[in-house]
Amino acid sequence: MACGRAELSGAIAELERMDREPRVRLALAEAEFRLAVASETAPAEAIERLRRAIWHDPFLPKLYLHLGRLLHRSGQHAVALSEYRHALHLAPSSRRAYLLMALALLELGRRERELGQALVDALVRGSVDELRTMLADLDALVQEQASGAARTGASSGRGSRGRPRQAPSRGPVGADPTAGAAAGDTWRIALVDQLSRPKPLRAKIAAHLGIGSEQIGGTGGLAEFAAACVLMVACGDPPAEVRRLATAAGVDRDPNPAAAMLDAVFQLAEADDPAAFVVAAAEYLRCGLVPAELVACLHFSMYVLKRELPAVESIRLLDSYPDPVRGLEIFRELRIAILDEHARRAWAGERLAEARLLWREAAALEPYRVPVAVNLALLAARTRSVADYGPAWERLAELLYLLAAGADNVQLHLEDRKRLHLVLSQQSLHRHCPQTSGPDRPSPEELAAWIADTDTLDVWLREWDLYYLNARLHFRSPVHVLGQPRDASAESLAEARDALVRHIEDVLPRQGWAGVGVFCDLARAQVTEAYQHALDPVTRARDRYYETEKPQADTLADETLHRVLLLRRLMRVLIREESAQRIPLGCAIARRQFILPRVALQQLCVDRGLIGPDDELVDLFETDLIALAASWGRPEPTDADRPARLAALDECVQVLPHRLELRVLRCRLLFEFDWRREAYAAALEALDLPVPPKHAETADELRTTLINLIDHIGYLEIPEPLRDPQEAAAMEKTAAAAKTALRLFPHSVPPRMVLASLLVRLGGEARMAEAITVLTDGIGSALNDDQRLMLEEQLGSIRGAAAAAAARKQVEDLVEPAMNRVRDAVKRLGDESDRSAVRDALQVVREAIADVSQGFNMARTAGLTGEQGQLESALAQLRRLERQLASSEEE
């Protein structure tokens, strides 16, 4: 019935077009089955096809058997077990199913393993009743375990899929041997099982081997028997005893590769000394008589475990193999095993330098082996080696993340990561704070001591965040990954997701480990997936991990709350110290506060009465950091302190970029340190900051502070000696200084006003126009209403003065020439006093009177009171002259 994939797929397609009568469904089931078990079909596809086949025909035992087999091979032993169980419901006599079930049980817990071992023994004995009894034992075990979990389908007496136990069987599962020849197909499994136990039962081994010897006449029987003998020797059975059994079975009489292999193993196991062993082993490997794994196993057993050669001799022995042998992968593993064994002995014997050397050798051979990294880290801690400690523990952490990233699996080494970070976090906390539960615990003195030990505190701050992250990723229940209750709203779930992603993005990249970027992506993907599942009400309702993981979830919630409270207490201690040197630590603490899940914690704190219902946890954190930042100037900084103080405030601004208070503090610091341009720029930048509505009230006050600072900076740019000029030359100098100040600080009002005022005082139309331009530009770029008002007021007064000056000029242009003509006419009259001269002079005077009157009116309109007076007396004089000239003309 062999046929190709394409043919089967074509047949399936055709069957699916037909009406779903029973015969069509049975054909579909068989077609899906054949495709599933084809050797080229990938396991995932095969599983899917078998599930479809079961849907078409739920009563075919071989479908469940093969589904179980595939799940078993992929490591899902518990799930495979239920499929085998179902196969046995339908085919209660299937030895294949019993055997597979036994093998699956051997991979599970202690009770399952015991059951599996008993099942293997029963298979060897071939007793069907015994097998059925054990099946009942298994059902009882499953029932017992299910009653401890939230949900199971096994309690109703129905099969694992809820189908009736007594469904009609559709025949045996493949080719099943009869019970009579039972042991023939299982003695090897039983032997392997015995040899795998910590304490194999020799009697049972002998019995199984006895069965094997009876099979020697059959196909492959000798090879199987010889292989079994080889296994026994390799697992430590005395070679002489095994040789006796083999000889009795006649193995040595058959020129068979298996027999040759067995003979070679006997020679090796009976070698006189290590050197002879190596020579013989190398030769056997060269001739292809034995596999390399066998040699490695014998070597380790004989010359590392049983005969304890010193480490140096052990390595020398390994080095005496020929190069091609030493280059084999299994020999590299053998070397690592030897190095590790000697290293552990050295550790136990307090020969720590030797242990370090040996484990370092092992690390050089296999840099990604976690146990080596753990051991080197423990060694560094035990020797208190400052040089080794940091690199060793960093390497261990890095490796745990790198391997997970490389395997594309966040769950890999997760338990180790969680434990590592928890250990470091706990030890760093308990170093100064042995008691953390109870009122006023840790005490203020303990907190102060802890703060003084910055190294230890840094460890706690860092490690707890990493522990928290791994603890969250460890959950299988989506809502527990997010740290939410089962009935959380979509918004809460979204916020929790965002908080956890923030946590990942804040905590991991700063570690600088290789592969951490990939790990971040994986972690983010898991969180996102958890969110999607949690959103779906059906998935949420079917969350089978929720109840079992709830105790751990509650513990983690308590730990998180404890963390929050401790962080706050630390912050309060720092604030009380009133020292700028504590600001960086405060920022580190604040960062940790803000990456915690604020919404969930807010509710928790309110529920436990730690804060009032109207208090916002985040506001408390922010206020604390602002209060701490206000200490930037204490103690008085030296020049050398300045960069650090600025860096500290910069960090505060980074943590809370939206808080104007911190920007103001920063500007003040820059100003106090005489970094005026920086202070000016920072103030302008801060003014552009959008402010959340709840901070609007304080924001106005803070903005005014910033603008005042900007003004003050501009004013200070004019040198003090130049600030009050009296003479024109001094005024010119001051005006120049004001222009420079304005160029540097265009939004500062004082230089602008000083410049405008000086321009007016210096006089002239051009200067007047310039002053108006300066003020008009200032109004356009004013930062607030106060600035605008001041400039507008000054502009108003300048404009008035300018108008007066213009009017004055006009009057001057009109009156002066007229008065000059009068003077000229009077002078000519002095030289020529005839009638025509008098007439001419009279004419000039009368014209002058008209001009001066016009000028007087212009002065009056422009409010030039000084000029009015002068023009009035000029008019009076001109009128008197007119009268004189008129009477002279008449005479």
Partner 1 sequence: MFMVDLSADSHYTLLGVAPTATADEIRMARDRLVKELKERHRREPTNRDELVERLKAVNAAGEALVRPAERTKYDQKNAHLRFFTVRRAAAAMFIEAGDRVDILHRAISAHLAGAGVPLRPLSDLDRVDFLADASPNPLLDQLLAKGRR
Q: Which of 530, 536, 532 is nearest to 549 (CA)?
A: 530
Residue (230 or 626) nearer to partner 1, CB:
230
Amino acid occupying residue 450:
W
**In the bound complex, what is the minimum distance in angstroms from residue 61's beta carbon to partner 1?**
11
340: burial class by Cβ within 10 Å (0-12, 13-18, 19+)?
A: buried
**In the bound complex, what is the minimum distance in angstroms from residue 675's beta carbon to partner 1?**
36
Q: Which of 785, 777, 784 is nearest to 751 (CA)?
A: 777
Q: Which of 734, 773, 769, 726 is nearest to 755 (CA)?
A: 734
Question: With contact defined as beta carbons under 8 Å apart, do 461 and 429 qualify?
Answer: no
Residue (86 or 666) nearer to partner 1, CB:
86
Point out which span in 427-435, 682-690, 774-782, 827-835 binds partner 1 (CB under 8 A): 427-435
Residue 557 contacts partner 1 per CB under 8 A: no
**In the bound complex, what is the minimum distance in angstroms from residue 232's beta carbon to partner 1?**
10
Question: With contact defined as beta carbons under 8 Å apart, do 839 and 825 qualify?
Answer: no
Residue 34 contacts partner 1 per CB under 8 A: yes
Task: Return the residues of window 606-625 that contact partner 1 according to CB under 8 A.
Answer: none
531-570 CB burial, b ≥16 within 10 A, e <16: bebbeeeeebeebebbeebeeebeebbebbbebbebbbeb
**In the bound complex, what is the minimum distance in angstroms from residue 563's beta carbon to partner 1?**
15
**In the bound complex, what is the minimum distance in angstroms from residue 630's beta carbon to partner 1?**
30
**In the bound complex, what is the minimum distance in angstroms from residue 375's beta carbon to partner 1?**
5
Q: Write the DSSP string, 488-557.
A: --HHHHHHHHHHHHHHHHHHSGGG--TTHHHHHHHHHHHHHHHHHHHHSHHHHHT-TTHHHHHHHHHHHH
Neighbours of 16 (CB within 10 A): 11
Neighbours of 115 (CB within 10 A): 21
Task: Return the residues of window 363-422 that contact partner 1 according to CB under 8 A.
Answer: 369-372, 374-375, 378, 380-382, 384, 386, 389-390, 393, 416, 419-420, 422
**In the bound complex, what is the minimum distance in angstroms from residue 126's beta carbon to partner 1?**
16
For the four alpha carbons of 778, 779, 781 and 786, in that order, the dihedral sign comes to positive
Point out which span in 67-75, 151-159, 406-414, 664-672 binds partner 1 (CB under 8 A): 67-75
**In the bound complex, what is the minimum distance in angstroms from residue 453's beta carbon to partner 1?**
8
Whole-number Å distance between alpha carbons of 280 and 269:
10
**In the bound complex, what is the minimum distance in angstroms from residue 494's beta carbon to partner 1?**
30
**In the bound complex, what is the minimum distance in angstroms from residue 341's beta carbon to partner 1?**
7
Q: For partner 1, which residue of 99, 449, 620, 826 counts as binding (CB under 8 A)? A: 99
Residue 151 contacts partner 1 per CB under 8 A: no
Q: For partner 1, which residue of 52, 56, 66, 472 counts as binding (CB under 8 A)? A: 66
Q: Coil, helix or strand for 814? A: helix
**In the bound complex, what is the minimum distance in angstroms from residue 186's beta carbon to partner 1?**
9
DSSP state of 656: S
**In the bound complex, what is the minimum distance in angstroms from residue 561's beta carbon to partner 1?**
16
**What track of x and - describes contact with partner 1 for positions 454 through 473 (by CB under 8 A)?**
-xx-xx--------------
Q: For partner 1, which residue of 214, 394, 453, 840 counts as binding (CB under 8 A)? A: 453
| 384's tokens | 């208190």
**In the bound complex, what is the minimum distance in angstroms from residue 309's beta carbon to partner 1?**
16
Q: Which of 224, 304, 245, 279 is nearest to 237 (CA)?
A: 245
For the four alpha carbons of 396, 397, 398 and 403, in that order, the dihedral sign comes to positive
Q: For partner 1, which residue of 303, 359, 401, 513 counts as binding (CB under 8 A)? A: 359
**In the bound complex, what is the minimum distance in angstroms from residue 38's beta carbon to partner 1?**
8
Residue (334 or 507) nearer to partner 1, CB:
334
Residue 493 contacts partner 1 per CB under 8 A: no
Point out which span in 28-36, 523-531, 835-843, 872-880 binds partner 1 (CB under 8 A): 28-36
Residue (321 or 856) nearer to partner 1, CB:
321
Largest CA distance in the chain: 181
Residue (148 or 439) nearer to partner 1, CB:
148
Residue (6 or 640) nearer to partner 1, CB:
6
Task: Return the residues of window 167-206 that contact partner 1 according to CB under 8 A.
Answer: 171, 173-175, 188-189, 192, 195-198
Task: Return the residues of window 527-556 that contact partner 1 according to CB under 8 A.
Answer: 555
Residue 11 contacts partner 1 per CB under 8 A: yes
Q: For partner 1, which residue of 49, 52, 56, 69 counts as binding (CB under 8 A)? A: 69
Whole-number Å distance between alpha carbons of 364 and 360:
6
Query: Can you list the alpha helix ranges (DSSP code H) found in 152-306?
Result: 187-196, 202-214, 221-234, 239-249, 257-269, 274-287, 292-300
**What track of x and - describes contact with partner 1 for positions 220 through 259 (by CB under 8 A)?**
x--xx--x--xx--xx--------------------xxx-
Whole-number Å distance between alpha carbons of 192 and 234:
12
Whole-number Å distance between alpha carbons of 292 and 484:
54
| Residue count, binding to partner 1 (CB under 8 A) | 104
- Asked, as a colleague might, if the bond just before 442 is cis with ω within 30 of 0, I would say yes
Whole-number Å distance between alpha carbons of 737 and 722:
8
Residue 54 contacts partner 1 per CB under 8 A: no
Residue (107 or 792) nearer to partner 1, CB:
107
End-to-end distance of the chain based on CA atoms, in angstroms? Answer: 159
Residue (375 or 560) nearer to partner 1, CB:
375
Q: Coil, helix or strand for 614? A: coil
Q: For partner 1, which residue of 7, 554, 619, 824 counts as binding (CB under 8 A)? A: 7
**In the bound complex, what is the minimum distance in angstroms from residue 557's beta carbon to partner 1?**
14
Residue (184 or 746) nearer to partner 1, CB:
184
**In the bound complex, what is the minimum distance in angstroms from residue 220's beta carbon to partner 1?**
6
CA dist 758 → 448, 735, 740, 772, 778 (Å): 59, 6, 14, 12, 16
Task: Return the residues of window 78-97 that contact partner 1 according to CB under 8 A.
Answer: 96
Question: With contact defined as beta carbons under 8 Å apart, do 818 and 846 qualify?
Answer: no
Task: Return the residues of window 745-774 that contact partner 1 according to CB under 8 A.
Answer: none
**In the bound complex, what is the minimum distance in angstroms from residue 741's beta carbon to partner 1?**
52
**What track of x and - describes contact with partner 1 for positions 325 through 354 (by CB under 8 A)?**
--------xx-xx--xx-xx--x-------
Residue (375 or 757) nearer to partner 1, CB:
375
Q: For partner 1, which residue of 183, 400, 424, 574 counts as binding (CB under 8 A)? A: 424
Neighbours of 663 (CB within 10 A): 23
Q: Coil, helix or strand for 408? A: coil
Neighbours of 792 (CB within 10 A): 14
Question: With contact defined as beta carbons under 8 Å apart, do 193 and 106 qualify?
Answer: yes
Q: For partner 1, which residue of 73, 244, 307, 883 counts as binding (CB under 8 A)? A: 73
- Dihedral Cα 445, 451, 455, 458, nearest 10 deg: 120
200: burial class by Cβ within 10 Å (0-12, 13-18, 19+)?
A: middle
| 546's tokens | 């929720």
Residue 14 contacts partner 1 per CB under 8 A: yes
E-only strand ranges, 1-78: none
Task: Return the residues of window 262-301 that contact partner 1 according to CB under 8 A.
Answer: 288, 290-294, 296-297, 300
Task: Return the residues of window 678-707 that contact partner 1 according to CB under 8 A.
Answer: none
Element spanning 84, H or E = helix 77-90
Question: With contact defined as beta carbons under 8 Å apart, do 568 and 498 qualify?
Answer: no
**In the bound complex, what is the minimum distance in angstroms from residue 62's beta carbon to partner 1?**
6
